[in-house]
A and B are shown apart, each in its own frame.
Chain A
Amino acid sequence: MSLLIRTQQRLLPRLIDIALTLAAWLGMAYLVLQGVQGLLQGRQNSPRLWFGIEFLQTLDTLLIYLLVGLAIGAVLLAWAKYNERRADWYQRRERMPDICERGLSANFQVSLPILDCLQNQQVLILHHHGHGALAAIEFPGTGLRLPAQAEMAISPEQEAAESSPEPQRPDRLQPLPH
């Protein structure tokens, strides 16, 4: 299996792609040349950063580009270093316990037996309410549909039989003991 996909295109589109890209490189070369010419012709035509402060306009524009760029980088790096130092004394969050089945069951509004089915059946069909909450699960090939809140489950003996490729039959499902 090849990871990269290079579908062969017709010659004309390929030539157009290459021509356009060459033109873009020429455009960039033009920008560079224009800049160098501007430098050679003197600074009177050169635009400047406008900060509303008169004295900045007397500074060399390229120097300002460089300084602002470096300042931005320096702020980020200083922040990163500060965070590293802070990590040494900062009270880290304790590891939270993994979400338990009861928590999942409550948050998704499904009963524990249905959650057990969801986590153990290999293939299931899920039905939803209009607002997106799980309404029911269905066992493929059986037509058996259980509401998400159903207190029904597969008994332990039948769980062992789950590995069987046959679809679950409705009569294998038992109510949970209360």
Chain B
Amino acid sequence: MIDRIYALLILLLVLGAPVGVALSLTGDVLLDFVFFYPLFMSALWMAGGSYFWLHWERHWPWSNSGEVAPPALAGEPLVSILIPCFNEGEHAVETIGAALAQRYSAIEVIAINDGSSDNTGAVLDQLAAREPRLRVLHLAQNQGKAVALRMGALAARSEYLVCIDGDALLDQDAATYLVAPLIDNPRVGAVTGNPRIRTRSTLVGRIQVGEFSSIIGLIKRTQRVYGRVFTVSGVIAAFRRSALDRIGYWSEDMITEDIDVSWKLQLDHWSIFYEPRALCWILMPETLRGLWKQRLRWAQGGAEVLLKNVGSIWVWRYRYMWPLLIEFSLSAIWAFTFALSMLLFAVGLLVELPPQLQVASMLPPAFTGLVLACVCLLQFSLSLLIERRYEQGLARSLFWIIWYPLAFWMLTLFTTLVSFPKVMLRRRQQRARWTSPDRGIKGVNP
């Protein structure tokens, strides 16, 4: 019952704050927030990215060709690589091949076939017959990614769990880079890696290359500098099993188990590190429909975590998580403010509105447009400077990167508008199940 009250209060806040501001001040103030919030967030990310790079990252040795050896793992512990698979028959051979090809030899790979309806089970069995380091757990019925990961954690023989998706390709040293901070720092409960996009056939795919480099990479670095991370990447992250055990592992009822587990770990005072050298090559949607479905799920996951924690987080010992929650809430308020500005602008074209509610134009005002454009270019350049060593030819994606501000902020806008009411009005209690994602387009028939 208390959950329902919180949900209603959150919805009233994100819906009511923009309306209240418009009524008590002016429509121009709304528009100022719409344009300045992304601008100042960009300043924050650039500051965080620059600090992370200057203070730590530039001192870390790295070679794309593998000439630089990763750090030696003290005690050479066994590392368990967990790969939950749902209908991954097409990708399982590549994914497991890349996992087994780690240069660090003390590994075991555990593939968890989560009740797939395709040939995943047969493919995994064939692989297991050839490769003793591969173990396979077939879940008789589809249980969802959280349960699959829990079973992997239970079956693992190692304290260090590297978790990747069933269609992701680990770089040859990724497991070592992920596990080294767990061994060196007893307070670290998880390490998140650096996902790189493989699918670059359509405009949607290419925009995400820029987005992952220019914004997600900078956000992760900034959050690491701050000391708390909103979420590990579900596609590539390593965990300390004893930390997971304290927090009850992955939750079965959260649509994005990665955001939830990140919050649970940090609320239990475990740190999460970001390791940009832990590369993992991933498939992403290449159609608008696929991208929409994926981002809506992410937004829903964020809203679920907000709802889950908003009532219990306001105690002093959780103070470091407050900025993350506030930033997420501000993003949601920004989305509703933008929507209200558009609504006022559209209504203003049809009927005369009171002066304080008038929004004259949806174009960024003169100076703001100039500053937005300059800040975008600055952010592109900075991210390119930082990320280019992980991927040769990244500069070529600069042509397409122009779409990133529009794509990122518009996606944030619309997914928030849809997901927030959905989550707040209908609290899901049932098990989160897999949805088959869009993994890029197929070739055209000749």
Q: Which among B257-265, B342-350, B366-374, B408-416 touches the partner chain?
A: B366-374
Per-residue contact bits, chain A 60-76, to B (CB 8 Å; 1 contact, 0 not): 01100100111011101
- A154 on the B face (CB < 8 A): no
Distance in angstroms from A146 CB to nearest chain B CB is 14
**Chain B binding site: helix, strand, loop or mixed by DSSP?**
helix
Given contacts A21-B399, A99-B245, is CB(A47)–CB(B200) below 8 Å?
Answer: no
Per-residue contact bits, chain A 96-107, to B (CB 8 Å; 1 contact, 0 not): 111100011001
Closest chain A residue to B222, Cβ basis: A76
Given contacts A98-B241, A126-B151, is CB(A46)–CB(B367) below 8 Å?
Answer: yes
Instruction: Tell me which residues from 40 to 96 in chain B have a Cβ below 8 Å from any Cβ of chain A.
Output: 40, 43-44, 46-48, 51, 55, 94
Q: Are B151 and A134 in contact (CB under 8 A)?
A: yes
Q: Are A4 and B198 in contact (CB under 8 A)?
A: yes
Closest chain B residue to A120, Cβ basis: B157
- B3 on the A face (CB < 8 A): no
Contacts of A104 in B (CB 8 A): 154, 245
Q: Are B136 and A122 in contact (CB under 8 A)?
A: yes
What 6 new A-B contacts, CB under 8 Å, besides A46-B365, A50-B26? Answer: A7-B444, A72-B44, A76-B44, A107-B248, A126-B137, A132-B144
- B201 on the A face (CB < 8 A): yes
Q: Which of B225, B245, B406 contacts A107 (CB 8 A)?
A: B245
- B403 on the A face (CB < 8 A): yes
Q: Are B187 and A93 in contact (CB under 8 A)?
A: yes
Q: Which of A4, A9, A47 contacts B366 (CB 8 A)?
A: A47
- B140 on the A face (CB < 8 A): yes
Q: Which of B48, B55, B140, B367 contacts A138 (CB 8 A)?
A: B140
Distance in angstroms from A21 CB to nearest chain B CB is 6
Q: Are A128 and B47 in contact (CB under 8 A)?
A: no
Instruction: Report the contact-size class of chain A (Cβ under 8 Å from the partner).
Output: 35 or more
A124 to B152, CA, bound (A): 12
Q: Are A119 and B156 in contact (CB under 8 A)?
A: yes
Closest chain B residue to A124, Cβ basis: B137
Given contacts A80-B51, A138-B140, is CB(A96)–CB(B186) below 8 Å?
Answer: yes
Q: Are A5 and B370 in contact (CB under 8 A)?
A: no
A107 to B249, CA, bound (A): 10
Per-residue contact bits, chain B 207-247, to A (CB 8 Å; 1 contact, 0 not): 00000000000000010011100000000000001110100
Given contacts A121-B135, A124-B138, is CB(A96)–CB(B242) below 8 Å?
Answer: yes
Closest chain A residue to B160, Cβ basis: A98
Distance in angstroms from B54 CB to nearest chain A CB is 10
Q: Are A119 and B157 in contact (CB under 8 A)?
A: yes
Contacts of A122 in B (CB 8 A): 128, 132, 134-136
User: Shortest 4 CB-CB distances between A and B: which pairs?
Assistant: A35-B370, A73-B47, A38-B366, A69-B43
